[in-house]
Structure 1
Amino acid sequence: MSRRHRRDPRESQSPDEVFSEMLIAARELLAVRSPLDAELMVSDMVGAWWGRRLRRGDAEQVLGEGLVDYAAKAGSPAALTLLIALAYLGTARQAAKAEGAALALIERDVARPRWADRLGAVKPTGCFVSRDAYGDQDTVVCTFAYRGADSGEDRHALVVVVDYNMRGIARDAWVSSHVEKLLEQAAAEAEANPMLRFEEIEPQQARALLESAMKATVEYGHRRTTAPVSDSYSAYHAFARSRIKALPPGRKRPAPLHSEAPYSRDRRAMLAAEFLSSDAAEHLSDPSAASRCADHIIDYGCDQDFGRPLRVSPTKCETFLLDWLPRKVMLSPAEQEAVPYVLGAWARFAARRTGLPDEGLRATLDGIWETTARFAETYRDPTTFGLDRDLLDRLLPDGDLSALARRVFAFPFLQGTHGEIKLDLLNPSDEADRRVLLGIDHGGELNRPDYDEHLAWHEEIAGRLWEGDPPQLWEAAQRLLDLGHDRHDVLHVLIEIAERIGDDPEELAIALDDIADIPDEPPV
């Protein structure tokens, strides 16, 4: 299906208007001869709402299942063809509804194309992975053929790019019908480039790897509203999901390049000591700052990069300096000065341990030096804004810079006195002190009959904001604050939603994402 038929469901159309246009577009399915073309057309069609969240509910349910119901009522040959495709390409709920609706239309002798019986009837013919020596990404190639087809007829390859610098998400996907040319080109590139590896893997391994990557894409989108995928990813998402199910299950996800056994705290400390005593670190002039910077580098590799502290690449180092450190870590002035130099020394130390080719190490070091000036501009020390160091220590005992704004919002009274209470001595991370601080914040509500219960809910929300769990809580609060709403009204809206939803984290995240404004009469 050409992309001119795709409409963004966020537009002001009603669902039935969207479905009507999709059913008109589905008439093209009657003209195609290949089941592969039909599957790609429908995958492109339903990709219009992939990753969307609608105020009126989940897009897959409102639009996906709604389209099935609409097509079932239409009862036309185009509708039947669309239902047959959705029975294979849809989510589990969509597929079950589409199959039942399609069978009902078939019993009424509604015409269907010849290729309908072959839709999705594929077998895997080989799985491969192209890996860069840095361990930044895997390009997975899975080839398929239709069962019973002539040799080479409709043979195709699904290609998915897995990006480990983005938490292992599936970042890109496409389909090629030039299978042999694709494989020959990948093998030739690997043979000519020492920074590339190309190898065949078991279909079970490919399935586990791709299932994990596609799940990571969804989770990344939940944390950051949208996942940074290619423009084509949504169009191929349903097709990729269906082809992955055609691969045999039964294996664990293959470890990314340079993965090792899990790093305990003791093992992390030992690795830091090995680095600091190595030739690579001998030129570092501030051993204390270098030690703390090494700890940050190791923690980042262990906690954010699949347990790979020794993996270095230009992209990983840039992400560490310009994205993770400025958001997450409270650095001292000495650490701010030292961290680019420590990272360069770490790259030399790690490259020797992992066998990274010399050209890869040179590119990594060049990337670090190019990023150093930008790091000085990107990193903002809160003390330069006039914030007291003692206050920062109380708000950030874990050094998590990203938590500063939401913790200040949760506990605005941390300095000065209140009666005989010295607020500077209260610790918001301590449960007893936290209740005192929130009680001071709500001193004007002492006479309300449900004061204890109400204060307990404020403690619940404050605790969630402190931990950033779920992240949508602070995101919703910021949207409402940006609209000019009072802090206390915002807190009451968050309490109302948390109380109404209960302990279901997914439903809570959706409800918080749906907050666009406060009603005229906010809950109290």
Structure 2
Amino acid sequence: MNRRHRRHPRESQSPDEVFAEMLLASRELLAVRSPLDAELMVSDMVGAWWGRRLRGGDAEQVLGEGLVDYAAKAGSPAALTLLIALAYLGTARQAAKAEGAALALIERGVAKPRWAERLGVVKPTGCYVSRDAYGDQDTVVCTFGYRGADNDEDRHALVMVVDYNMRGIARDAWVSSHVDKLLDQARTEAGANPMLRFEEIEPQQARALLESAMKATAEYGDRRTNVPVSDSYSAYHAFARARIKALPPGRKRPAPLYSEAPYSRDRRAMLAAEFLSSDAAEHLSDPSAASRCADHIIDYGCDQDFGRPLRVSPTKCQTFLLDWLPRKVLLTPAEQEAVPYVLGAWARFAARRSGLADRGLRATLDGIWEATARFAEAYRDPTTFGLDRDLLERLLPDGDLSALARRVFAFPFLQGTHGEIKLDLLNPSDEADRRILLGIDHAGELDRPDYDEHLAWHEEIAGRLWEGDPPQLWEAAQRLLDLGHDRHDVLHVLIEIAERIGDDPEELSIALDDIADIPDEPPV
């Protein structure tokens, strides 16, 4: 498919300028004969907005609904073709607005494109999944045909890759019109590779799996991180969302391969004990460090991998060692040295328990040893930057290394003395000590009439920052700090928003997302 009309809106462009460009590009739809080509073209066009944020909300919502209004006012044949496509491909709000606007233009006599009656009128003809023996990912293939069609001209397959090493997100998507060739290739690959399995699944199961995966991708993006999807995902996002709705509903999300019942704390401890007493762990020289490392491995498998601590693969082990640990866990020097070896021993233990083939275990061990040399660079011990180990343990009693920056921001005075108070003895995770620390932070404001109420709000914000709840709170603070604003001014803006919004978590998150700068006179 030619994607020459696909352009990301420039920051300097007004919405109307963006809409005018898209309406101009929509003239190509007038010459299209196939409804499939029309759907793919419009999906590609609106995909330029996918995952972007604007002040005021999600770009797909803000610009998408604005485009509908702009096309309705234009009233041209190109505008009508765009509205008809958006009535099928848009979000629920976009689709409702686009359908109403399209009907109004049709009543005024604007000519419909020849493909309009067939747009989206599809039926599923088969659903399949290709799974690797590690349980790393599912490649889901859903095939469709247009209702009433008497040939295979517009038969097509939607292909989506679900990545379980990235919290089950939909990581890739594309469309193929070579359906039989695609299915034959998948069967041939599975037949030649014992580490692959290809099978047909119920359409209801495919829908539940893909809806969950697309939701996971959207939630990943809501964390304001770069979503690790392919370049093609955004182009096919709207098309995929619409095609998934053409599949019959009725199934809960299927569990990933090898998924087990939830692991309680006691069950996790029992599994760690079984590992440490196994033959696989007998060569580990530091039992204490090995025990703590095993706890991290099990927690990662339970909390980040759908309750699958016994699932091992080269990718999963490398992600744990080079990505999750360096971001999330404060390790002692002994644990830093031990963790690659404990992970290798865990792979041997887990492979026997899960039935992973020998070739899979060998590949996993090779992946761990390849990552071991890079682990020393990936894991930067905060103590190497001059931070005191005792201070770190007070700030990170839960070992959550990702919380360090926001907790230092919330409690900057943790060392030295203040009058007769020894700050090194105060624990910011303790409610009474926390109030003393915040009182020291506001020692110059004792004469303000609302001091107790104001300090209580600082306690509220400090507690939320400590827990990272909601994550948008620290994200908003970082944006304002990056603009050069004073820490206290930033805190006061966060307090003003929390006080104004109240207990509605969704409204609070939206309000925090909308913060772009501090007004000239910040609230106090």
The TM-score bracket by the shorter chain reads over 0.9
Q: Partner residue of 1:11?
A: 11
1:382 shift after superposition: 2.3
1:10 shift after superposition: 4.3
1:413 shift after superposition: 1.3
Structure 2: runs of 5 or more not aligned: none
- In structure 2, what is the Cα distance between the partners aligned to 1:57 and 1:379? 35
Q: 1:263 to 1:200 in 2, by over 3 A?
A: same
User: TM-score, structure 2 length as denominator?
Assistant: 0.97
Q: 1:10 to 1:447 in 2, by over 3 A?
A: farther
Q: Partner residue of 2:217?
A: 217
Equivalent residues in 2 for 1:28-177 (5 A)? 28-177=28-177
1:195 shift after superposition: 1.0
CA displacement 1:488-524 (0-9 Å, x = unmatched): 1121122223333334434433433343333332222
CA displacement 1:169-207 (0-9 Å, x = unmatched): 001100000001000100110010011111111111100
Kindly indicate whether the alpha-carbon contact (under 8 Å) linking 1:162 and 1:169 is maintained by their aligned counterparts in 2: yes
- In structure 2, what is the Cα distance between the partners aligned to 1:289 and 1:18? 57
Q: Secondary structure at the match of 2:493?
A: helix
Q: 1:61 to 1:380 in 2, by over 3 A?
A: closer
Kindly indicate whether the alpha-carbon contact (under 8 Å) linking 1:30 and 1:113 is maintained by their aligned counterparts in 2: yes
Q: 1:261 to 1:429 in 2, by over 3 A?
A: same
1:312 shift after superposition: 0.8
Kindly indicate whether the alpha-carbon contact (under 8 Å) linking 1:51 and 1:226 is maintained by their aligned counterparts in 2: no
CA displacement 1:70-116 (0-9 Å, x = unmatched): 11111111111111111110000000111111111111221012220
Q: 1:184 to 1:2 in 2, by over 3 A?
A: closer
Q: Secondary structure at the match of 1:160?
A: strand
CA displacement 1:354-373 (0-9 Å, x = unmatched): 12122211111111111112
Q: Bigger CA drift: 385-394 or 205-214? A: 385-394
- In structure 2, what is the Cα distance between the partners aligned to 1:394 and 1:504? 31
1:343 shift after superposition: 0.3
Q: 1:56 to 1:295 in 2, by over 3 A?
A: closer
Kindly indicate whether the alpha-carbon contact (under 8 Å) linking 1:135 and 1:258 is maintained by their aligned counterparts in 2: yes
Q: Secondary structure at the match of 1:4?
A: coil
Q: Secondary structure at the match of 2:51?
A: coil
1:467 shift after superposition: 0.7
RMSD of aligned Cα (Å): 1.5
1:387 shift after superposition: 2.5
- In structure 2, what is the Cα distance between the partners aligned to 1:207 and 1:520? 50
1:25 shift after superposition: 0.9
- In structure 1, what is the Cα distance between the partners aligned to 2:502 and 2:94? 27
Kindly indicate whether the alpha-carbon contact (under 8 Å) linking 1:194 and 1:357 is maintained by their aligned counterparts in 2: no
- In structure 2, what is the Cα distance between the partners aligned to 1:217 and 1:417? 47
Q: Secondary structure at the match of 1:114?
A: coil
User: TM-score, structure 1 length as denominator?
Assistant: 0.97
Kindly indicate whether the alpha-carbon contact (under 8 Å) linking 1:135 and 1:164 is maintained by their aligned counterparts in 2: yes
- In structure 2, what is the Cα distance between the partners aligned to 1:134 and 1:223? 28
Q: Secondary structure at the match of 1:5?
A: coil
Kindly indicate whether the alpha-carbon contact (under 8 Å) linking 2:55 and 2:516 is maintained by their aligned counterparts in 1: no
CA displacement 1:224-249 (0-9 Å, x = unmatched): 33311111111100000000000111
Q: Partner residue of 1:345?
A: 345
Identity of aligned residues (%): 93
Kindly indicate whether the alpha-carbon contact (under 8 Å) linking 1:135 and 1:256 is maintained by their aligned counterparts in 2: yes
Length, aligned pairs only: 524
- In structure 2, what is the Cα distance between the partners aligned to 1:53 and 1:328? 26
CA displacement 1:270-290 (0-9 Å, x = unmatched): 111111111111111111211
Q: Secondary structure at the match of 2:316?
A: helix
Structure 1: runs of 5 or more not aligned: none
1:422 shift after superposition: 2.6
Kindly indicate whether the alpha-carbon contact (under 8 Å) linking 2:135 and 2:257 is maintained by their aligned counterparts in 1: yes
- In structure 2, what is the Cα distance between the partners aligned to 1:10 and 1:60? 15
- In structure 2, what is the Cα distance between the partners aligned to 1:411 and 1:505? 24
Q: Bigger CA drift: 8-17 or 78-87? A: 8-17
Kindly indicate whether the alpha-carbon contact (under 8 Å) linking 2:170 and 2:216 is maintained by their aligned counterparts in 1: yes
- In structure 2, what is the Cα distance between the partners aligned to 1:206 and 1:383? 48
Kindly indicate whether the alpha-carbon contact (under 8 Å) linking 1:7 and 1:18 is maintained by their aligned counterparts in 2: no
- In structure 1, what is the Cα distance between the partners aligned to 2:33 and 2:456? 64
Q: Secondary structure at the match of 1:171?
A: strand
Q: Bigger CA drift: 90-99 or 77-86? A: 77-86
